[in-house]
Amino acid sequence: MKNNFKYSLDNKKYHTLNYHYKKTFNSKVYKVSLNANFTCPNKDGKISFGGCIYCSKLGSGEYAGDKNVDLITQFNNVKNLIDKKWPNSKYIGYLQANTNTYAPLDILKEKYETILKIPNVVGLSISTRPDCIEEQLLDYLEILNKRTYLTVELGLQTIHESTSKLINRGHDLKCFIKTLNELRKRNINVVVHIINGLPYETKEMMIDTIKFLSHSDIQGLKIHMLYILKNTEIHELYKKEKFHILTKEEYVDIVCDQLELLPDNIVINRITGDPKIEDLIEPRWLTRKFCVLNEIDKELDKRGTYQGYCYKNNNS
């Protein structure tokens, strides 16, 4: 089937990050994952200990830099490799590991400004929690947003409070909504993270999370598949209760349903999980990332649908 989807350059039926960056910057843009050595209130005792039950010791920063190395060195280690493949690229600094707004404002400013001073860095992406953005930081981010391409990534994972409590998320949906509204009042772009396959969630529950976000003022979405890593609390829960892990076919079906329900202007920043193979317990099919991506493409082709297909029909 010929691809007529307007927000893709590589035969996808969803709004790709690659398309968004090329349209915005007229250049190849590479996101450099960095580790600023922050912690998390869900780990240090402010809210809880241990973090979310699926979280690794690296705080979801498996592909971020080495926290014991300064940010400029971390950045250059990646840039030197990328420049060989894509000379003259532009870059976005991505603070990925743990909670990257959880520190005094002067420390946050020092970290953010250090990254933005690096040549060819055109923006900053900050991954955080909805309960860790204070008023003073919001004011600074509003100023920063006028100087550079700024994105705040908010972890939501699910709209269902029973699941949030089970995974030890530490905040509720009201907190997410409040923070999203505060960021959007300042015209700051927001990318939301969700996880499919959380323990005991049904397909209908995962669809409900997407339906909620489809009517929220968000600019991007990251869809993850739950994976179980060694030495995590969820690994212990899985050994004890053997809750259902989505099959590849189930995951592809759910993701395609979710894409159909989303407005086509929401940028899909990620569409599957990407665990480190040596730490992965389940699902093993995630080790073949490109196979999963291809299956999503094939399923959308088979259906003759695309991102926004059902959203448009439901809102026409």
User: For residue 41, what pLDDT is reported?
Assistant: 86
Within 78-174, strands assigned E span: 90-95, 121-128, 149-157
Across the range 183-206, mean pLDDT stands at 98
35/75 Cα distance (integer angstroms): 10
Domains of the chain plus CATH, in order, are 17-310 (3.20.20.70)
pTM of the model: 0.94
- Range with the lowest mean pLDDT among 46-50, 177-181, 278-282, 300-304? 46-50
Across the range 149-153, mean pLDDT stands at 98
Nearest Cα neighbor of 45 from 7, 6, 85, 102 is 102
- The single-letter code of the amino acid at 209 is T
User: For residue 1, what pLDDT is reported?
Assistant: 45
> Tens digit of pLDDT for each residue in 155-179?
999 999 999 999 989 899 999 999 9
> Tens digit of pLDDT for each residue in 50-77?
788 888 765 454 556 688 899 999 999 9
User: For residue 57, what pLDDT is reported?
Assistant: 65
> Tens digit of pLDDT for each residue in 274-294?
888 888 999 999 999 999 999
User: For residue 58, what pLDDT is reported?
Assistant: 56
How far is CA 116 from its chain centroid? 21
User: For residue 62, what pLDDT is reported?
Assistant: 56
Across the range 202-230, mean pLDDT stands at 97
